[in-house]
Amino acid sequence: MPGSISSPSNGSFTRSHRGGHGAPLVCLHGFADTWRTWELVLPWLERRHDVLALTLPGHAGGPPIAGEVTDTALADAVEREIDEAGFEIPHLVGNSLGGYLALRLASRGRARTVVALAPAGGWARGDSSYVNLLRFQRGLIERVRAGAPHAEAIVATREGRRLATQYLTTNFEHIPAELLALQLRGAAQCTAAEALIEHAMRSGWNLDAERVSCPVRIVWGTDDRLLPWPAAASRFRGEWLPHADWVELEGVGHCPQLDVPLETAQLILGFTSP
């Protein structure tokens, strides 16, 4: 595996990471995560792309959210970051909430291609089971906040690492303990978590799919425990993006970039620079 990105020695979180050379590519993480979730795939992506990995507003290291916390506010903020980076129409890669935001930006004409890993927002219209999922996520954030002060001790044991990744991956042995500790602390410091959950419960998720004109690849792990396949993909498969390039990853969890980093990098690069 290529060398990984070094972690801040003081355990602090940063707004973004940029590296590599080539066509611009922006990576967007999921709910309560940070740009560090891409650490295991960045070395491969940076061989072919000028990569900007962002931390979303209201997340650990990210900028504050000005005004109401909504998905549109997040998309607006990411678009401003893209402009500030000097990217006009970059490739976009996103996981979960980040995958949904990548598609929202594509509907604005701001994506050359999109690779969405288990994008949020795909429950079938009228399916209320997503409300239970959101309530579960709220409880999960509370548990993570309780455990975050003990993050290093938790990830110091194999069982602790298994518990720390049980809703994210099915494979965890290769993930550095330091990265897992960063993820626990990062999730605990997501100040926008409750507001985003309340917004999703109140307003749901919407996508102007007819305006998505760029190539789209959607990747989903069959063992995703946060956005279960195929139920959580229903609107994408039926109403929104049935003609996207669909890839099922057998036995993989919610975060393929952590679960199977080499395969994920290949799926991204095979789409952005075939």
Just list the catalytic residues. Answer: 96, 224, 254
64: buried, middle or exposed (CB in 10 Å: 19+, 13-18, 0-12)? Answer: exposed
Report phi then psi at 28, rounded to 5: -125, 125
Which residues are CB-neighbours of 270 under 8 A, at least 6 positions away?
none
Which residues are CB-neighbours of 174 under 8 A, at least 6 positions away?
40, 261
CB of 97 closer than 8 Å to CB of 192: no
Amino acid at 69: V
Nearest to 125 by CA among 44, 12, 231, 40: 231
- Both tokens of residue 177? 């303990």
